[in-house]
Chain A
Amino acid sequence: MYEGIVQDLIDELGRLPGVGPKSAQRIAFHLLAADPADVKRLADVLVEVKQKVRFCQTCGNVAEDDQCRICRDPGRDPTVLCVVEESKDVVAVERTREFRGRYHVLGGAISPIEGIGPDDLRIRELMQRLADGTVTEAILATDPNLEGEATATYLTRLLKPMGLRITRLASGLPVGGDLEYADEVTLGRAFEGRRAVDD
């Protein structure tokens, strides 16, 4: 135990995800030894990020205004909507430079064992967005794990009666890997989603 404010700092740092007591102590002493200007800059950014950043009223992505940069961009295709779990998934898809549509961030995946049901996600907002008929294709880009698949299954059941084209991101072999090392679930998916090459 350290005295007063040093221990307070260690305790606060220890509450961050992935930071244990030892790491918290190391970061705290790094900050104590650092240049005061660097520490002030970090503190200012922390305060500013909480003041300025909010969630986009349209898609739920992180934004500095009522709407995020992507929702404000008139060059984006409003007929294609990519449904993702988290804001960081938007960044991952944007990195591909393949997608020019818009996004909808659910805020997680359905996980009953963690007490997260459909009502805890931004599914109602998604339905409201789709109600005006502008969107013709919904791409379900939830994580390719069990919760993500179950969320996609739930959304498919909900969206099907709306007459949209509903697609799911392909699952399969990673680029640059060897076939023999693929696990049977991934390889099975790759076979399921195979495509003709002579089209």
Chain B
Amino acid sequence: MGLYRDEGVVLRTQKLGEADRIVSLLTRRHGRIRAVAKGVRRTSSRFGSRLEPFMHVDAQLAEGRSLDVVAQVETVTPYGQPVCANYGLYTAGTVMLETTERLVAEEHEPALQQFLLLVGGLRALSQQEHAPGLTLDSFLLRSLAIAGYAPSFSDCAHCGAEGPHRAFSPAAGGLLCADCRVPGTARPAPETIELLAALLAGDWEVADASEPRIRRETCGLVSAYVRWHLERDLRSLVYVDRTPEPNGTVRG
């Protein structure tokens, strides 16, 4: 049985037998892998806490027939602690993990760009560099772009006519010009289109300056876009908590 070592982020865990867990990890070099972590549910486990979702770890694994086996784990960055101490961050972070798991469908297929995006997204989320809702929406748009579903927020997604355009269609892949526009397409505010483009490009100056009303509209459009292109609903998306913080600040 061959041993290999890789760093990865824990996407999901699932109970197995008496005290074991199946851990789904997105690793830097081996893509998404599923491995058995033995005895980690016991309080005496020496690495159970390192294999919680959101944890960025350096793991040694043994190749198995169907599932690999976790041999050793060291923590690289414990994103789980700051994330679960804030309910809004937890719900936003869970959507990031589920989206990643859905987009990296094939096991053992390297997905370096998605891995780097996830680590960056979790860092931004845990350090609260930006409003959690903005971090999440930016992550979703960029994840879809990496997967080949990059939305167009300037030129017409159908004929390529130069923008600006006002009609937004998730099915068409972004904005549509007046000629290509089909009935039922949304007509978001120009500021919303500007925010969508900023989130895709990582222009945080524009994104951070946006108004709550624009962020709400943007969030709805991003959710619609994600739902359309992933074909199935993300289970965690409906639980994203965007209520105001007790100290009065409003999260985006």
Q: Does B225 contact A (CB under 8 A)?
A: no
Count A-side interface residues using an 8 Å CB cutoff.
24
Once the chains bind, are B91 and A112 in contact (CB under 8 Å)? yes
Contacts of B128 in A (CB 8 A): none
Once the chains bind, are A112 and B52 in contact (CB under 8 Å)? no
Contacts of A154 in B (CB 8 A): 87
Stretch at the interface among A24-32, A113-121, A133-141: A113-121
Query: A146 with B236: in contact, given A160-B246, A183-B47, A185-B78 (CB under 8 Å)?
Result: no
Stretch at the interface among B94-102, B130-138, B161-169: B94-102
Q: Does A174 contact B (CB under 8 A)?
A: yes
Which residue on A lies nearest to B241, using beta carbons? A154
Once the chains bind, are A185 and B50 in contact (CB under 8 Å)? yes
Q: Does B81 contact A (CB under 8 A)?
A: yes
Once the chains bind, are A146 and B52 in contact (CB under 8 Å)? yes
Which residue on A lies nearest to B237, using beta carbons? A112
Count B-side interface residues using an 8 Å CB cutoff.
33
Query: A174 with B87: in contact, given A112-B239, A113-B94, A160-B246 (CB under 8 Å)?
Result: no
Query: A183 with B49: in contact, given A112-B95, A150-B90 (CB under 8 Å)?
Result: yes
Q: Which of B44, B50, B81, B235 contacts A174 (CB 8 A)?
A: B44
Query: A185 with B81: in contact, given A113-B98, A157-B246 (CB under 8 Å)?
Result: yes
Proximity bits, B73-107, A CB within 8 Å = 1, else 0: 00100101100111100110011011000000000
Q: Does B227 contact A (CB under 8 A)?
A: no
Once the chains bind, are B235 and A183 in contact (CB under 8 Å)? no
Q: Does B54 contact A (CB under 8 A)?
A: yes
CA–CA, A157 and B91, complex, Å: 14
Query: Least Cβ distance of A133 to chain B in Å?
Result: 21
Sample of 6 further A-B pairs with CB below 8 A, known A113-B236, A182-B46? A113-B97, A146-B52, A146-B53, A154-B87, A174-B43, A183-B75
Pairs across A and B, CB under 8 Å, 8 listed: A112-B236, A113-B98, A113-B236, A153-B90, A181-B46, A184-B78, A185-B81, A186-B49
The 5 closest A-B pairs by CB, nearest first: A112-B236, A185-B49, A112-B239, A149-B84, A115-B235
